[in-house]
Amino acid sequence: MEEIKVKDVMTRGVLTIQEKASVKEAARIMADCNISGLVVTSSMDTLTGVLSEMDIIRVLDKDLDAVKVEKIMTSPAITIGQQESLQRACQIMKEKNIHRLVVQTENVGLPGNAKSAIFLPFGILSISDVIEAVSKGEHILPKN
């Protein structure tokens, strides 16, 4: 049986929010788009973290217009390459006790210059994506 790759089950495209945005704005985006997390970027669009519903729940007693995403996000973001196995992704989520991984593109830096390596957010792999794959009969873990 062919090994299932992250790219086969991930959600393509990434909704981002800048780390200086308010938590209220992040909550609005998440509610409008019916999603449970956002990728957080700096003003230079570099990946700095992930914001989840649980992060927001923890500050509901605060003024959400005043609290900035950077103060409550999980950082650094845990990432995985799109060619990695789904089994490895599940192992990372289990070990780190997280519900989503940011899926990175392949190196888009300057050719032949390892110091210029740039990896951009390409998608999200969430527990929901894994559960959907399982519900369709995909075998994520090898059979013993």
Three-class DSSP category at 5: strand
Domain-wise residue ranges, the chain = 6-135
pLDDT in tens, 23-76: 999 999 999 999 999 999 988 778 899 999 999 999 999 999 999 999 999 999
pTM over 0.75: yes
What does the pLDDT read at residue 137?
Answer: 76
User: Predicted confidence band at 1 (pLDDT cuts at 50, 70, 90)?
Assistant: very low
Strands (E) located in the chain: 11-12, 16-18, 37-41, 47-52, 79-81, 100-104, 121-126
CATH entry 3.30.70.260 includes domain 6-135: no
